[in-house]
Amino acid sequence: MAETVKVMVRCRPMNKQEIAKNCQAIIDVDTKKNSITINSKEGGVDGAKTFTYDCVFSTNSIQQNVYESTAFPLVESVVEGYNGTIFAYGQTGCGKTHSMVGIPTDEVEKGIIPRTFSHLINIVESANDRKFLIRCSYIEIYNEEIHDLLAKDCKAKLELKESPDKGVFIKDVTMNVVKSIAEMDKWMSIGTDNRSVGATAMNKDSSRSHSLFTLYIECQIKSEIEGQDDSITAGKLNLVDLAGSERQSKTQATGDRLKEATKINLSLSALGNVISALVDGKTQHIPYRDSKLTRLLQDSLGGNTKTIMIAAISPADYNYDETLSTLRYASRAKNIKNQPKVNQDPKDAMLKEYQEEIKKLKEIRVGRNKENCQKIKIEIQISNVGSKRSIKRK
């Protein structure tokens, strides 16, 4: 059954820079009507413009509410075998990383990704009738190159491949089995430390790359019919923190920062072109191949994935043009139609193979224990025979 991309908009509070510039607030958030109104900046000729979305969050929204309205139902679906994607989009410095990551060690301020870890493990631990295998990968797209943030050489370039079974995938990406919140947190922390960041005039900790933390969740459901194989579902959850769109006149980027900004803006432009092509429906050709980002998000935009977009905006008149652009972008995205479906008994499921490997290791261990016991028994028997001979001689 077709469903549209769900679009949420979150407006952050004024930051120190905007307060210092005496910026005026031009955003009105109506959480009852799920609408955002952008008022014309002082001296502007444009009137107020109102946009409606699936959900909106005001400047005083808290992380828990954002998670429950966005990711919570999606995680439940992924456990059932659906593919899911959450991606944060917006101008640099508007709070994308705050929504996606937040402060992972703070129960109040942690974002969508660490809350997903807790939610997922709680589901696994309470499911007595199902067995799970969870793996994770973490990559970044930096200057149109894909880097594996969990590999020993995290700056090595990885290749994109495509197959009828897997669709678009990253060749040789590191996948780690995770069994606890602590293990997920560990890989998230390692990858984040390896991610490319840099200071600009707009954001001292600006993400200079797009990042994708992906969870692969396989679930084995025991068959109630004797002699029938157990069924396996395989869900995948992409948690995407996009780098922010930038204007050089505001970020004052030069050198490497300017080169990074150019690549970021090109890939975001390619994403916009894909969204426009899907919504307009005037052409059968969708330009997914124009960037690494759009290729990796191919299933999320017009494919078989349940997708949520979180658009992050500033309330300040100083950012009027960028905010209006983001609101229009988000408004187009909510018209994209996907065809999500459960991934039932996929050919590349690893759960049975993983369980068989564990079984073999246990058998080897049991075999070695038996072998050791047999050796000890023989040694005791030899020792006893030796003792009896010694007694007879005496």
94 is in an annotated binding site: yes
96 is in an annotated binding site: yes
198 is in an annotated binding site: no
Paired sense of beta strands 206-207 and 49-52, if any:
unpaired
From the CB of residue 386, how many other CB atoms can be counted at a distance below 10 Å?
Answer: 10
- Residue listed under structure tokens 């396989």: 218
Note every long-range contact of 177-184, with CB atoms under 8 Å and residues 24 or more positions apart, other chains counting.
177/133, 177/134, 177/135, 177/354, 178/134, 178/135, 178/136, 179/134, 180/121, 181/117, 181/118, 181/121, 184/117, 184/120, 184/121, 184/136
Rounded to whole angstroms, what are the CA distances from 198 to 117, 154, 190, 209? 27, 17, 18, 10
90 is in an annotated binding site: yes
Cβ atoms 145, 157 nearer than 8 A: yes
81 is in an annotated binding site: no
Give the contacts of 78 (CB within 8 A, at least 6 positions apart).
Answer: 84, 215, 217, 235, 236, 237, 306
User: CA 166, CA 162: separation in Å to the nearest integer?
Assistant: 7
Name the binding residues. 90-97
Q: Which residues are annotated binding-site positions for ATP?
A: 90-97
